[in-house]
Chain A
Amino acid sequence: MAKKDKEDDEFRPTGTIAVLAIFVVTLIAIWATIYMILVGRGGTL
């Protein structure tokens, strides 16, 4: 069984936030680029 260590209680995943922030920015940038290609190529109806 897992013991609750004191250091685990104090662990704050701040580095994780940094990694995921980079990920979110990349995600938005790439997705938006493709979306703009879509919009630029015009309608289909």
Chain B
Amino acid sequence: MSTNQIHIDPYERNWMIISAILLVLFATAVSVAAFGMGIQVPAPEQRVDPRTVATDPNSPWSNPGLREIEPGKYDAYVLARAIPSWEYLPKEMTIPAGSSVSFYVTSSDVQHGFKIQDTNANFQVVPGQVSKLTIKFDKPGTYNFICTEYCGSGHGVMYGAIIVTP
């Protein structure tokens, strides 16, 4: 046997082929969801100064909340903050069923998370950055959004809600 040749048992060779096929299948499924069904991860949106983002009158987060862009389409500017008390501004947003909402979330202090239950909105909120994803709400109901990153002692009580009316 030449010492440059690697000896591979036939069973193991087959296993390696199966493993490779399996991984290619998973990669394909993920790509179909990302590029075919529009289930994407956040992209760099905008950078802000966390020290002034909540107070600068030119910053949309100085007046957080929903803006209706066109019928059934909204932009939601959400501020996550640990100071003075762990909360999102606004705490509650009400929209009619069938609405599509783009969430623009940033923080004026530490890192937070933003996860809307029963949807694929789930991202990191990093001071200095704006996280954006767009969700369409078809089913009426209350969708809690909760903080998923440790942000100090009140992390566990930090949440808000989207109310989807029929």
Binding site for B on A (CB under 8 A): 12-14, 16-17, 20, 24, 27-28, 31, 35, 38-39, 41-45
A-B contact count (CB 8 A): 53
- Are B38 and A44 in touch, CB under 8 angstroms? yes
**B17 → A minimal CB distance (Å):** 12
- Are A38 and B119 in touch, CB under 8 angstroms? no
List, in ascending order, chain A residues with CB within 8 A of B9's CB: 13
**Given contacts A42-B136, A44-B38, could you give 13 more A-B pairs where the C-beta distance is less than 8 Å?**
A13-B9, A13-B11, A24-B22, A27-B22, A31-B26, A35-B33, A38-B33, A39-B33, A41-B120, A42-B39, A43-B37, A43-B136, A44-B40
Binding site for A on B (CB under 8 A): 9, 11-12, 15, 18, 22, 26, 29-30, 33, 37-41, 118-121, 133-136
- Lowest 3 A-B CB distances belong to which pairs? A43-B38, A45-B38, A44-B133
The majority secondary structure among interface residues of chain B is mixed
Complexed CA–CA distance, A24 and B21 (Å): 12
